[in-house]
Structure 1
Amino acid sequence: MIGEHVIVGYSNDPGGRDALALGAAITRITGGELTVASIYPPGSPGLAVEAQANLAHAAEELGIVPAEYMAFESRGTGRGLSVLASRIRADLIVLGSASGGQYGRIAVGSAADHLLHRSPEAVMLAPSGYVPPEEPARLTLAYVHRPQCDAAVERVAQAALRLDVPLRLITLDLRTEDQGKLRDDLALAVRLAWESTGLEAESEVAEGHDVPAALKDVEWLPGELLVCAAGEDAQPHRVFLGELAMKVLRSSSCPVTVLPRGFS
């Protein structure tokens, strides 16, 4: 299960503070390590000093929460977080929403876009203004009948079992496919979760003419986490979020985790 070592991409702004709170909440639940990172560009002594100041502010925010703090030089924040995560063997990168987006939703900035298309580690994004609850409530997997999602069913079911929370599998009916086939595929995924873990998953078909409309009437619990599998175009052990999954991410009111292809 992810969360054994979490790295938070921190900046002293609302998105950075949202990511920091979410990363700390994840490690509190998993008992994992927490690293807070501030990335700065090469050849910029002033920005290197600012990165250190950001980390000092993060330490004040976390208080007694145990964490490591690292300023890291890189030409891009997303690239820097990925390289640093690999060096310290983190298994999850947490980012906040980019500035200027809708409150309560995820806006994808350049760093998140980089990670969502090439990160070797799982990536988690927090909606704008997100306040983590004390305990997780449910894991929901956005399901499409394809190998990467079938593999994710087993992994997410194992995580739900370990966290002692319900598992929900949700698929979207955008009125472009046979709904009977979608429900049959979903039933097979529920069976896969049961056969791999003994966990009886909830299932739901969300209907609408587009992704935001389909997700509008879906219930999201406080403490819910939405999981998406990497697309079929992802390289082995890399994240690659397809067009549909990106729309799901942007429409989500809860944190979203994207698993690399072949995640285990």
Structure 2
Amino acid sequence: MIGAHVIVGYSGDPGGRDALALGSAITRVTGGELTIATIYPPGSPGLAVEAQANLAHAAEELGQAPAEYLTFESRGAGRGLSVLASRIRADLVVVGSAGGGQPGRIAIGSTSDHLLHLSSEAVMLAPAGYLPPIEPVRLTLAYVHRPQCDAAVERVAQAALRLGVPLRLITLDLRTEDQGRLRDDLALAVRLAWESTGIEAESEVAEGHDVAAALTDIEWLPGELLVCAASEDAQPHRVFLGELAMKVLRASSCPVTVLPRGFS
């Protein structure tokens, strides 16, 4: 299950603090390892010292929570986090929302953009100002009838079973598709979840004239986690988020996890 080893991309801004809180909450639930990392550019001794100071602030915020603290030199924060995650065998990279975004929503910056198109590990993004609950209350998978999503149904169902939380499968009806076919696809996905894990998944069709409207058409619980599968265009064992999924991510009011292609 995702969360055996979580790496948090930390910076001394609100997005970094949101990521820290979320990453810490995930490992409390999973019992996994937690690594806090700050990336700094090469040839910048002053920024290397600042990175160490950022980690000291992170340690103060976490208090007694067990964690490893690392600085890492890289020309880009996203690339650095991805390389470091592979080296320490983390299975989840957690980052916060970029500055200047809407409160309660996810804004994509250069770090998260890199991760969402090239990471070998699952990526989780925290909305701006997000306060994680003590425990998750439900996992929701954004479902489209295609192989990557079918594989994700089984993986997310296993995670929900292990966490002891409900599983919900949603699909978006943007008034351009046959809703009967969408519901049939969802029914097959619900059956797949049952056959693979024995879990009875909920299912909903979210209707709206665009993605943001569709997501507000259905209920979101405090402590909900939304999962998206990688695009069919992703390289094997890489994250690559398609246009529709990117819109879902930006409109989400809860943390979003993106699985790499072929995630197991």
TM range (shorter): over 0.9
Question: Hey, what does 1:58 align to over in structure 2?
Answer: 58
What amino acid is aligned across from residue 112 of structure 1 in structure 2?
Answer: S
Distance 2:185 2:221 in 1: 25
In the alignment, structure 1 residue 24 sits paired with structure 2 residue 24: yes
Report Cα offsets for 1:155-206 as digits up to 9, x if no partner.
0000000000000000000111111100000000000000000000000000
Residue of structure 2 in register with 1:49 after alignment: 49
- Say which SS state the counterpart of residue 206 (structure 1) adopts: strand
**Residue in structure 2 matched with residue 130 of structure 1 by the alignment:** 130
In structure 1, distance between residues paired with 2:3 and 2:223: 16
Shift of 1:218: 1.5
Which residue of structure 2 aligns with residue 72 of structure 1?
A: 72
1:124-182 Cα offsets, whole Å, 9 max, x none, are 00000000001110000000000000000000000000000000000000111111100
Q: What pairs with 1:166-205 in structure 2 (closer than 5 Å)? A: 166-205=166-205
Give the counterpart letter for 1:149 in structure 2.
Answer: C
Which residue does 1:249 correspond to in 2?
A: 249
Residue of structure 2 equivalent to 1:233:
233
- In structure 1, what is the equivalent of residue 112 of structure 2? 112
Tell me the distance in 1 between the aligned counterparts of 2:135 and 2:92. 19
Q: Quick one: distance in 2 between partners of 1:9 and 1:45?
A: 20
CA distance in 1, matches of 2:171, 2:244: 11
Q: Does 1:95 align with 2:95?
A: yes
Residues 174 and 210, structure 2, Cα contact 8 Å, conserved in 1: yes
- Matches of 2:8 and 2:213, distance apart in 1: 31
User: Matched residues in 2 for 1:75 and 1:136: separation?
Assistant: 35
Alpha-carbon offset, residue 216 of structure 1: 1.2
TM-score normalized with structure 2 length = 1.00
Helix, strand or coil at the partner of 1:155? helix
Displaced runs of 4+ in structure 1, greater than 4 A?
none
TM-score between both structures, scaled by the size of structure 1: 1.00
User: What do residues 54-107 of structure 1 show as CA deviations (whole Å, max 9, x unaligned)?
Assistant: 000000000000000000000000000000000000000000000000000000
Q: Alpha-carbon deviations, 1:10-30, whole Å to 9, x = none?
A: 000100000000000000000
Tell me, yes or no, if the aligned pair for 2:37 and 2:72 is still in contact at 8 Å: yes
Q: What secondary structure is seen at the aligned counterpart in 2 of 1:225?
A: strand
Q: Equivalents in 2 of 1:4, 1:115: separation in Å? A: 19
Gapped regions of structure 2 (runs ≥ 5): none
* Paired letter, 1:125: L
Give the partner amino acid of 2:93: I
Cα distance in structure 2, aligned partners of 1:103 and 1:202: 29
RMSD of aligned C-alpha atoms?
Answer: 0.4
* Contact 2:136-2:223 within 8 A present in 1 as well: yes
Q: Any conservation in 1 of the 2:208–2:217 contact (CA below 8 Å)?
A: no
Aligned to 1:146: 146
In 1, the alpha carbon distance for the partners of 2:220 and 2:29 equals: 20
- Quote the Cα distance in structure 2 between the aligned partners of 1:223 and 1:175: 29
Q: In structure 1, how many angstroms separate the alpha carbons of the residues matched to 2:201 and 2:76?
A: 40
Q: After TM superposition, give the deviation of residue 245 of structure 1 in Å.
A: 0.1
In the aligned structure 1, how far is the partner of 2:261 from the partner of 2:217?
30
Give the superposition deviation at 1:217: 2.2
SS of 2:153 mapped into structure 1: helix
User: 2-side partners of 1:237 and 1:87: how far apart?
Assistant: 15
Q: Which 5+ residue runs of structure 1 have no aligned equivalent?
A: none
Count the aligned residue pairs: 264
